[in-house]
Structure 1
């Protein structure tokens, strides 16, 4: 029955030919992929159960030409299991590379008071930026050749850090020491949520370690254009890749975005300035021969796949005009 349903599946709702025309250096993808609201859009196949959908839908997701990467958000909450990574690797095309969020136990200097942190809630985190733990709990699981070839950047997502917990100078110093201790055969991007960190010493720490800044469109950070200006003012980024994560509208909290947009079936609130800034970043990547990983969240405009197609189409048309 499943095969019959798939045989008569609807054609892709996306402009696959346009997607294929985008240069290979540009990798668009969504922030995770297991959304029920995408059934009938990204997903045409029949899945036997919710568990089947979550385990096996990456293959169908990765079959769409627009999606050359994906953000694996679940690894933020727990370190990856090698069998899970192997399953993902078996489902994606040869050239596909994912972006992994790093376990929060390594990126939170002080545990929040949320109940899920148990006895650690409200306590300082002795494993904050522990390079040895990062290698043992996370990185070694990516060293299998079949997993390694699909491994894109690791995103270290830091919360907003109160100055009473750690000063900007201390954060940057500890980040620099951490990055210097990591193996260089992986790629790293740091996503900070303190605008005061966007100073010369921060970008110098990244450049000395061949890491990059994750340009993040998030509730209370400066716009992407201003983040790019800050990087340029510090002398630019030297890593051979860019990372951007488009998360929420500026000035809008996570919960407000969830309430506004779920179940994420439709594009509801286009963000023209964000789109223009992503276009600038991707064209800069092409001009400097760098790979750009651009991860889009549903909570930015309501439906990440349609946001990707809109930005990708604008990029394609801009490149066509440049060639004339």
Structure 2
């Protein structure tokens, strides 16, 4: 893994080119040489306690989620994002607009014992700074762990318009230097020990790339082999999520094993059922299973927009998927019993309400691990 460490050292000991829309490095926090920034990868300061203020978001005082069974510390369940007004009475007390929940709701979300992770999805649409990551980390307790999506700038082979249509090739697709500079370094610097899986969700690929799957898998392997295995005393957990079922092959699993990257079980209409993905995961792990990362994204047979229209305001289960839930519970329990860590996040578009999906999932897991 010499290439990984060389890239990490290179990035930590070079100055980023100046940008005209920023203040000079000496006048803004975090400017200049990353290796000389005060506080970089230092231990977290004790969180400051503060009293509730008018306009703060409070945790729902009477919620079925509060009756969820306690799970082992290494099994973390959570939702994809947290700022849904329809979760009134489930997660949040009272009525709040989405913008308020986005800014102030995470702390209330993280007070619910069932919810010990969350998928940080906004990072897919644009990179964020270490300061922003640190702000999220300050809102959650110790033991909470974020699932963080890598930005599309390195995960999408094309640059898309507002309708999601690919227009031109993306020159930074699978660019490891950009991934480390814009994602891995600020994420680990800001979240520190609260960084969980760093998920590279590769968007649906053009047919021209998928037709030569072996070459694409080779490119993926070179990309992951270049990412650093250690930064600031922390070892990132990288995971790959797909949107092209054709790539789910033994060749891909061998590449992931060689680069020590986890396969993220992504439940989506574009991907095979959970049983086939579970089989692929077993092929990857062989006799040395790794941590389990699952993103329960979408009810089978639906597109995102159709599911959104059917399930809003996401306050109840509409289309329950008991079979998927049963398999996920079994997978989580097996991973825990094997001494591995588990992250499972659910989207509202999986069954209608992510918190309620997780409540039922937690009950099934608890029955197995008890």
Output aligned runs, 1:161-200, within 5 Å: 161-166=205-210, 167-184=212-229, 185-200=235-250
Structure 2 length as normaliser, TM-score?
0.78
Mapped pair 1:122 → 2:167: yes
Query: For the residues of structure 1 that align with 2:67 and 2:305, how far apart are their CA atoms?
Result: 36
Mapped pair 1:109 → 2:153: no
Query: For the residues of structure 1 that align with 2:99 and 2:206, how far apart are their CA atoms?
Result: 39
Q: Give the greater-gyration-radius structure (CA).
A: 2
Task: Give the aligned length.
Answer: 313
Query: For the residues of structure 1 that align with 2:188 and 2:150, how far apart are their CA atoms?
Result: 16
Deviation at residue 24 of structure 1 after TM alignment: 1.2
1:201-246 per-position Cα deviation (integer Å, ceiling 9, x unaligned): 1111111122111101101211111111123245548563111001
Which one of the candidate residues 265, 276, 279 is aligned to 2:315?
265
Q: State the match for 1:148 in structure 2.
A: 192
The runs of 4+ residues in structure 1 deviating greater than 4 Å are 2-6
Q: Which runs of 5+ in 2 are unaligned?
A: 1-51, 230-234
Q: State the match for 2:265 in structure 1.
A: 215
Change in CA separation of 1:259 and 1:289 when aligned onto 2, cut-off 3 Å = same
Query: For the residues of structure 2 that align with 1:52 and 1:246, how far apart are their CA atoms?
Result: 26
RMSD value, Cα: 2.5
C-alpha contact (below 8 Å) 2:59/2:91 kept by paired residues:
no
Q: State the match for 2:90 in structure 1.
A: 41
Mapped pair 1:308 → 2:358: yes
Mapped pair 1:31 → 2:76: no
Q: Which runs of 5+ in 1 are unaligned?
A: none
**More displaced stretch, 297-306 vs 205-214:** 205-214
- The SS at the match of 1:111 is strand
Q: State the match for 2:10 in structure 1.
A: none
Query: For the residues of structure 1 that align with 2:145 and 2:335, how far apart are their CA atoms?
Result: 17
Deviation at residue 298 of structure 1 after TM alignment: 0.2
Q: State the match for 1:204 in structure 2.
A: 254
- The SS at the match of 2:345 is strand
Query: For the residues of structure 2 that align with 1:217 and 1:169, how far apart are their CA atoms?
Result: 24
C-alpha contact (below 8 Å) 2:84/2:98 kept by paired residues:
no
1:48-73 per-position Cα deviation (integer Å, ceiling 9, x unaligned): x6544321110000000111100011
